[in-house]
Every structure is written in structure tokens, then in C-alpha cells.
Amino acid sequence: MAPTDSPPAADKARSPLKLKKGSLVKVDRHAYMADASRAASDPEPPDYLFIGPGELLQVKTDVVLIRWRPPVPDVWLPVEVLSLYK
């Protein structure tokens, strides 16, 4: 097998976002609703997820802990459903 310079397919699917503690984010509605299990557990997600901003409290490899401005519980979400808040 010849070595390749391209990353594995799993790495290509990862979000290219450079997230760090304190970053402001919002949730991409299409990416969030594309996961059938997430859509089934929360068919009408709250608007504040998609309006943002949420502040990252902890960043793991593929999930982040987000604190929202409204008085709601902090939530863990996968990195692939996030976009930077502008």
C-alpha cells in the first residue's frame, strides 16, 4: 500500500472550526436536525440555540459544553453542529 497525503475520511468529516474555551458559537439548524436521534428527542429545539451566542466552557475532541445567555442549563453538543457566532 502506498502512503497517502490526505487525511482519513473520518478526519475530513470533522468540523474545520478552531474552537477554544471562551469562543462564541451558535448551532447550525440543518446539521442539528440532520441527526434523526437528536431530532426525535427534541423535535422543536429552542430558538436560542440557532440565534446564539453560546460561550464554550469546555472543549473535548468531538463535543463541547456550551453556556447560553438565557437562564437555561449548560449543554454538551457535538462540534459538527456548531458554527462560529459573528
Closest to 56 measured CA to CA, from 16, 15, 25: 25
The CATH number, out of the four listed (1.10.3470, 1.10.1740, 2.20.25, 2.30.30), of the domain defined by the range 18-84: 2.30.30
Residue-wise pLDDT for 28-82, tens only, equals 999 998 887 777 787 788 999 999 899 999 999 899 999 999 999 999 999 999 9
- Residue 16 is predicted with a pLDDT of 61
- Residue 12 is predicted with a pLDDT of 42
Sheet with 63-68, side-by-side order of all strands: 75-78, 63-68, 54-59, 24-27, 82-84
- Residue 43 is predicted with a pLDDT of 79
Domain ranges of the chain: 18-84
Distance CA 1, CA 65 (A): 40
Q: Which helix (H) or strand (E) holds 51?
A: helix 48-51
- Residue 13 is predicted with a pLDDT of 47
- Residue 23 is predicted with a pLDDT of 94
- Residue 38 is predicted with a pLDDT of 77
